[in-house]
Chains A and B, each alone.
Chain A
């Protein structure tokens, strides 16, 4: 399977615990994005990487959130001291330029439930 892979698919955690998600992008894609999707809404941008450099972070990304992409390959998204409001689907996408347009390929997401 050469698509974007995310693990775990589902995560249930108690409030206050830390969680970490992993994203493996399509190998030749140098850009990687994280989005968050709450029920009934479209995805919202969180952050993105160009190779290993994190170039932009949304205001949605509080200081409890941290993302890394060591060596420009896989990426991790960590949430510290989880809150119930963090419950959402976390989507990863990697992208490639097609005819000038940067087309994003999404993973299946990690669904986080904070109880």
Chain B
């Protein structure tokens, strides 16, 4: 069964600093995608960044970047120049069943930004 593990229940960072959120996964899929979603206190999940497993190049979206280590099944999220609006629960997820592409989520990391 596919599993996603986020080992950091909570993280905090000073505003303008950089923080890295960890994620490891286990999958039997040969082709899959990885995602980081953000869930602010209003509870709507928002896509932060996605990575195709067949691509070696790490994905980047403005201040957000990933470190994708396929052999180690690791997919960490780096947030640079942290802003107060980055405070949220962050969920790592992978797709299972290539056709359905349903998501399997980790348990989340609560990120606090200290002003």
Task: Please give the residue numbers on chain A whose beta carbons come within 8 Å of chain B beta carbons, in ascending order.
Answer: 3, 33, 35, 40-45, 48, 55-56, 89, 91, 93, 95, 98-109, 111
A45 touches B102 (CB 8 A): yes
Whether the Cβ atoms of B103 and A45 lie closer than 8 Å is: yes
How many chain B residues sit at the interface, stated as a range, is: 20 to 34
Residue among A42, A48, A108 facing the most chain B CB atoms (10 A cut-off): A42
The dominant DSSP class at the A interface is: strand
Give the residue of A42, A56, A103, A108 whose beta carbon is less than 8 angstroms from that of B107: A42
B52 touches A101 (CB 8 A): yes
Given A42-B4, A100-B52, decide whether A106 and B44 contact each other with a Cβ distance below 8 A.
yes
Tell me the bound Cα distance from A103 to B93 in angstroms.
Answer: 11
Of A44, A45, A89, A98, most buried by chain B (CB within 10 Å of CB) is A45
Interface residues as binary, B54-89 with A (CB distance below 8 Å gives 1, 0 otherwise): 000000000000000000000000000000000000
